[in-house]
Amino acid sequence: MNTERKPMSLQRLLDMHASGDKIAMLTCYDAAFATLLDEAGVDVLLIGDSLGNVLQGQSSTVPVTLEEMVYHTRCVARGRKSAWIIGDLPFDSYQASTAEAWKSAAALVKAGAHMVKLEGGGWTAPVVRYLVERGIPVCAHLGFTPQTVTALGGYKVQGRDEASAALLKKHAQELADAGAQMLVIEMIPAALAAELTQSLAIPVIGIGAGVGCSGQVLVLHDMLDVTPGRRPRFVKNFMQGASSVQDAVRRYVSEVKAQTFPQDDLHGY
């Protein structure tokens, strides 16, 4: 097992983006899986507010609290050895003011997160700048943003038309200019995602955004085929043909690195 990896750093992630080395990210919510994913070669562990769906059985991420995110971040940090840790800022923990965002982000960092993630563009740029200037790295999230699923009219691909694509590009550049050091883009056309990845100096991590991104992220329970119900188009069942959970995760890492996952015709838009 790969237990001697050097700790991942922000500079290494930036270097990977610059050199074209793909970044493998998965969601993670506890210490046991943190150890397993780390040893299987996952570069980044995301404590996603997706835990509301896959752990709590909620219909959306909105009910997840900051206290719950802190708890799961602390659990993941105890199991992690070398992977980079990102903690989601949940709904209603950063929208009211930059001061609220700081307090919430600081709580996740104290729990063990190396970086925090927030959703949306436009109004979020000042929040990103405020946090980064005070020493907290930030990952932005554009495209389909689960915390605002109702406002988006459901689980819909974003950036399909010229106007919405232009707005996504505008917001992405604003967030990078504000100091965001990473960007997650979800459910947008592969061509647009590739264009964003080429234009930005920061890693762009795709989920349902094609193979042209700096790296990929999936919800752990989705790629292990344990999430009940229908899964999104961009998910692949890595347990199929695998001898163990760790084997499935290793296959995911290998396919992301080799750019054989995702396949735009099967998993993209």
Summarize pLDDT for 69-86 with one digit per residue, the tens. 999 999 999 999 999 999
Q: Is 39 a catalytic residue?
A: no
Place of tokens 């922000």: 10
Most confident of 122-126, 227-231, 261-265: 122-126
Give Cα 24 distance to the centre of its chain. 10
CA distance 43 to 21: 11
Give the model's pLDDT for residue 87.
98
Cis geometry, peptide bond prior to residue 90 (ω within 30 degrees of 0): no
Greater confidence, 105 or 229? 105
Sorting pLDDT into bands at 50, 70 and 90, what band is 153?
confident
Predicted pLDDT of residue 151: 78
Residue 155 banded pLDDT, cuts 50, 70, 90: confident
CB 130 within 8 A of CB 89: no
Q: Flag whether pLDDT at 136 surpasses 50.
A: yes
Query: Residues at the annotated binding site for 3-methyl-2-oxobutanoate?
Result: 49-50, 88, 117
From the annotation, which residues make up the binding site?
49-50, 88, 117, 119
User: Which residues define the annotated binding site for Mg(2+)?
Assistant: 49, 88, 119
pLDDT at 5: 85
Catalytic-role residue among 39, 174, 186, 255: 186
